[in-house]
Amino acid sequence: MLLSESLYEALEASLKNLERPHSSIQSIGSVSGGDINRAYRIKTSTGDYFVKVNNDPLAASMFLAESNGLDILRNPLGAAHVPKTFLVGNARGEGFLLMEWIDTGNKHDAPQQEALGRLLASLHRRHADAYGLDHDNFIGPLPQNNGFSSDWTEFFIEQRLQKQLDMADQILDGTDLHKKFDRLFSRFADLYPCEPPSLLHGDLWSGNYLVDQLGTPVFIDPAVYYGNREVDIAMTKLFGGFSERFYDAYNETYPLQHGWEERVDLWNLYPLLVHLNLFGRSYLRAIQNNLKQYIGANS
């Protein structure tokens, strides 16, 4: 049995409570693609659903933050671009998030990439008065602090880079990375032009968007906050999966400032530090290489 008995019963009860009293589970299949959660497609007599499961003590909090993030994205983007969430629950220590199932199509063709670029640009046009969010959330399974700040340099250093550096203290033992980051911090404000706080997806790699069978792009697994929009753009470059038509369509809709390509590795220090904390020292070289561009090779 793919699901524990307690989780199976909790899901079946949840489906009946969703004004689907005659719904019954017909089959359950594993879904691949995630490193953190177990995921399943649930086929029922009234439709298909997607459920994510995790045994971590913080799982329910993580899933609640994810559900809240999707709600925040849905407001400016519309329901077609964000999956509906039905329930965050816990079944004897197994946290779960029940969502709508989306049948996916090809997301790499030019029309789909163009639509995705325009969609992200429209998201980034949603602005706030300060950087951050009114609640903390998660980046993957790691806590992400979002206390509001009017200063992007202060926010990105204190609530993004320094938090991850503190978490990685043991991994960094014996390296000079703390000193190198201190040198980066001393000149950080001079490395980028001002941008208003934009609503960000926050974890935008190629695995965190879908395209449905109508060709509509759909955002999933966000880590939302208001920040410099180049952070989202930079992360699309970290692991690839976005075509030139994506960037062209974005720039046609909401042009990026001159030199944005030169700042990609600056913003990607954050996800690289996250990956360092999640997966270990194999990410040290990439972090060192990124730092060299902004503090000098001999620093």
The reply to whether 103 belongs to the active site is no
Which residue in 56, 203, 212, 248 is the catalytic one?
Answer: 203
Categorize the per-residue pLDDT at 33 as very low, low, confident or very high, splitting at 50, 70 and 90. Answer: low
Residue ranges of domains in the chain: 18-100, 110-295
- Sequence letter at residue 23: S
- Which pLDDT value is given to residue 206? 95
C-alpha angle with apex 84: 29 to 136, nearest 5 degrees? 105
State the Cα–Cα distance between residues 71 and 65, nearest whole angstrom. 10
Closest C-alpha to 81, from 212, 189, 249:
212
Which CATH code of 3.20.20.80, 3.30.1330.60, 3.30.1330.40, 3.30.200.20 fits the domain covering 18-100? 3.30.200.20
pLDDT digits (tens, 9 = 90+) for 101-144: 999 999 999 999 999 999 999 999 999 999 999 999 999 999 99
Please tell us whether the domain made up of 110-295 is placed in CATH 3.90.1200.10.
yes
State pLDDT tens for residues 192-216: 999 999 999 999 999 999 999 999 9
pTM of the entire structure?
Answer: 0.95
26 vs 44: CA distance, rounded Å: 5
pLDDT at 299: 60
DSSP 39: E
Does residue 3 register a pLDDT over 90? Answer: no
What number is the average pLDDT over the span 11-26? 78
Give the confidence band of 298 by pLDDT, cuts at 50, 70, 90: low
Query: Could you write out the three-class secondary structure of 65-122?
Result: HHHHHHHHHHHHHCHHHCCCEEEEEEECCEEEEEEECCCECCCCCHHHHHHHHHHHHH
Is 21 a residue whose pLDDT tops 70?
no
pLDDT tens per residue, range 86-107? 999 999 889 999 999 999 999 9
